Homo-oligomer: A and B are copies of this chain.
Amino acid sequence: MNFNQVTIKDIARELGISPSTVSRALKDHPDISPETKRLVNELAEKLNYQPNVVALSLRSSKTNTIGVIIPEIVHFFFSTIISGIEDVAYSAGYNIIITQSNESLAREKSDLKALFNSRVDGMLMSISRETVDFEHIENILSKGMPIVFFDRIYDTPGSSKVIVDDKVGAKEATLHLIEQGCKRIAHLEGPPNLHISKQRLEGYREALSEAGLPFDESLVALCPKGTTEEGKLATEKLLSLKTKPDAIFASNDPAAMGAMQAIRQAGLKIPKDIAIVGFSNWQLSSLMEPPLSSVDQPGYEMGQEAARILIRHIELKSKKKPEPAPEVKLLKTRLIVRESSVKK
């Protein structure tokens, strides 16, 4: 688009000097006389000269842009991450280009390619539910593109990642339910090929094991998409068992909310008949009736941290420093106990 912005040549022409002199004057190069610098800076100010970042990008092969690939934007946890990324990127002078895979592998591949072709300086990525092979990612990594994974990571040595301690978070949540006297604790499991789902299931098992409770396969219900509807259906099945569960630990809050609906509709009371703990601490968990206990994940910090690591790597790379060692940041969860899990 032509916004007829003033260029360095306009200034040069007006002052009767060469573009290179103007360029140097603007950068306070010692070769240029103070008088020329003054003239150039004054005119630049007057004409509101702004350097053309596209030309700078072409010459320096640096776009000051970060690409973000995320499964869904409309998702409380992910949107807080984006917010954290944006704030850090803004402060460091980077733009962020957002793409959403919509949980589709094909779209993820396409986004990856598009961002690479946009010559972003680095990428932040959380993989889709469908992603089972990682060739497309390896391909980009092998070209030297710095990528920091967050939450839904590609778990390979050599990649930087920011994750939440899902296992410990799940364990704490389950132990909390055990402390409340629950004996038959069900688990609503998240998308099975995601690392985080496995970790949460594992934390749940560890807690049961530590407390000497049996692990009962029939009490684990899969919610492959993690939606409210799935949570509700899964819970209805659990409620039809001969011996009902007395607590549910859900892999995410929407599923937990679905569980609450199912329990209410079955005429049971929360937490008296069935206690519930969710995962993610969605904005509105506290507004449920009863307020939902949940494992809080620091999404904003996760976004900030991922952006900081990426920018650090980018700046090292552009200074031709040696390849920085991959960084792994493990963030702590925090169990927020509300009424949905407290048996008096």
Q: How far is the CB of A149 from chain B (nearest CB, A)?
A: 19
A325 within 8 A of partner (CB): no
Asked whether, in the complex, the Cβ of A119 is within 8 Å of the Cβ of B73, the reply is no
Asked whether, in the complex, the Cβ of A97 is within 8 Å of the Cβ of B100, the reply is no
Residues of chain B within 8 A (CB-CB) of A3 are 116, 119, 143-145
Q: How far is the CB of A114 from chain B (nearest CB, A)?
A: 7
Given A118-B95, A119-B1, A257-B284, does the pair A83, B76 have CB atoms closer than 8 Å?
no
Binding-face segment, A48-56, A180-188, A216-224: A48-56
A282 within 8 A of partner (CB): yes
Q: Report which of B75, B97, B145 forms a contact with A96, defined as CB distance below 8 A.
A: B97
Asked whether, in the complex, the Cβ of A83 is within 8 Å of the Cβ of B73, the reply is yes
Asked whether, in the complex, the Cβ of A50 is within 8 Å of the Cβ of B117, the reply is yes
Asked whether, in the complex, the Cβ of B1 is within 8 Å of the Cβ of A118, the reply is no
Q: How far is the CB of A292 from chain B (nearest CB, A)?
A: 10
Closest-by-CB residue of B relative to A291 is B261
List CB contacts (< 8 Å) of A192-221 with chain B.
none
A126 within 8 A of partner (CB): no
A80 within 8 A of partner (CB): yes
A86 within 8 A of partner (CB): yes
Q: Report which of B95, B121, B264, B284 forms a contact with A282, defined as CB distance below 8 A.
A: B284
Residues of chain B within 8 A (CB-CB) of A264 are 289
Residues of chain B within 8 A (CB-CB) of A176 are none
On chain A, the number of residues with a Cβ less than 8 Å from chain B's Cβ atoms is 58
Asked whether, in the complex, the Cβ of B83 is within 8 Å of the Cβ of A74, the reply is yes
Bound-complex Cα distance A52 to B283 (A): 42
A247 within 8 A of partner (CB): no
Given A3-B144, A97-B95, A288-B289, does the pair A79, B73 have CB atoms closer than 8 Å?
yes
A33 within 8 A of partner (CB): no
Given A1-B61, A86-B98, does the pair A228, B287 have CB atoms closer than 8 Å?
yes
A134 within 8 A of partner (CB): no
A301 within 8 A of partner (CB): no
Q: Report which of B55, B99, B282 forms a contact with A86, defined as CB distance below 8 A.
A: B99
A327 within 8 A of partner (CB): no
List 6 other contacts, CB 8 Å, given A65-B97, A74-B82.
A1-B122, A50-B116, A54-B119, A86-B100, A96-B98, A261-B287
The 4 closest A-B pairs by CB, nearest first: A289-B289, A284-B284, A73-B83, A74-B79
Residues of A near any B CB (own CB < 8 A):
1-3, 50-55, 57-58, 61-63, 65, 72-76, 79-80, 82-83, 86-87, 90, 95-100, 111, 114, 116-119, 121-122, 143-145, 228, 257, 260-261, 264, 282-284, 287-289, 314, 317-318
